[in-house]
Amino acid sequence: MTNIVLFGKPGAGKGTQAEFLKGKYNLTHLSTGDIFRFNIKNETELGKLAQTYINNGGLVPDEVTIKMLQSEVENNPDSAGFLFDGFPRTIAQAEALDAFLATKNEKITATVALEADDEILVARLLERGKTSGRADDQDEEKIRNRYQEYNEKTAPLIGFYKEQNKFHAVNGIGSIAEITERLSNVIDNL
Ligand SMILES: Nc1ncnc2c1ncn2[C@@H]1O[C@H](COP(=O)(O)OP(=O)(O)O)[C@@H](O)[C@H]1O
């Protein structure tokens, strides 16, 4: 099984690239952001719980997110591998993911990060907010909050995966196709 974590700040292009990579490598794409948004739209219990955190640019509590992610993996027993997008976002999530995969004799193969400058990304998110309908993309203060959450809670994962020799970064600025190629070069050489 190949299990890839697609890593990057809000707006780095994870969802866009995941669309290409999942087909190319036959991976099951699990986007925690998409799953939360689906649940919010359908007004499920999970959606109601996650909504306030998401709309304010905060993170959904680990306990909720980890449980949800595990059930998504369990729901895909025949998968040839997973592409995790937006997960893990905290050290606790990363540790829970390792422990969970270990129970299946599986592990994370690699983490691939899309790198881009904060100011470029904030501008991208505000632009996306004009059409995405996402409340968390429309307000600069909420966007700044997401970067603060990233810096405090998610950035420490870089060290976590570097220690395991699993961290690979690519330049996230360029055309979509160029970036897919950079990511593919990393994945092909794993
Ligand atoms: N792993 C996670 N842990 C906690 N909250 C999450 C996680 N993944 C997504 N969320 C919530 O969903 C929001 C949107 O996620 P996503 O679409 O991945 O955002 P982005 O475009 O910022 O990368 C996050 O700001 C957060 O509130």
pLDDT in tens, 5-51: 999 999 999 999 999 999 999 999 999 999 999 999 999 999 999 99
Pocket perturbation via mutation, ligand 1, pick of 30, 34, 60, 154 by most ligand atoms within 8 A of CB: 60
Interface pTM, i.e. ipTM:
0.85
Is 14 in a helix, a strand, or coil?
helix
Q: 75-111 in b/e burial notation, b at 16+ Cβ within 10 A?
A: eeeeeebbbbbbbbbbeebbebbeeebeeeebebbbb
φ, ψ at 5 (rounded to 5°): -100, 120
First vs last Cα of the chain: how many Å apart?
A: 12
Q: Name the residue with the closest Cα to ligand 1, atom 27.
A: 54
Closest-lying ligand 1 atom to the alpha carbon of residue 136: 25
Strand, helix or coil at 12?
coil
Pocket test for ligand 1, best of 49, 52, 54, 149 (most atoms within 8 A of CB): 54
Q: Residue with structure tokens 């948004």?
A: 37
Confirm if 20 and 175 have CB atoms less than 8 A apart: no
Rounded Cα gap, residues 133 and 135, in angstroms: 6
C-alpha radius of gyration, the chain, whole number: 16
Q: Is 60 known to sit in a ligand binding site? A: yes
Smallest CA separation from ligand 1 atom 21, residue: 10
Q: Say which CATH superfamily domain 4-180 falls into.
A: P-loop containing nucleotide triphosphate hydrolases (3.40.50.300)
Task: Decide whether any atom of ligand 1 lies within 6 Å of the 11 Cβ.
Answer: yes
- Asked whether residue 144 is marked as a ligand-binding residue, the answer is no
Is 174 annotated as ligand-binding?
Answer: yes
CA pair distance 178, 25, nearest whole angstrom = 17
Please, what is the angle between helix 62-74 and helix 91-102, to 10°?
A: 30
pLDDT in tens, 61-106: 999 999 999 999 999 999 999 999 999 999 999 999 999 999 999 9
DSSP state of 62: H
The residue extents of the domains of the chain are 4-180
The Å distance, Cα 110 to ligand 1 centre, comes to: 20
Q: How many CB atoms lie within 10 A of CB 169?
A: 16
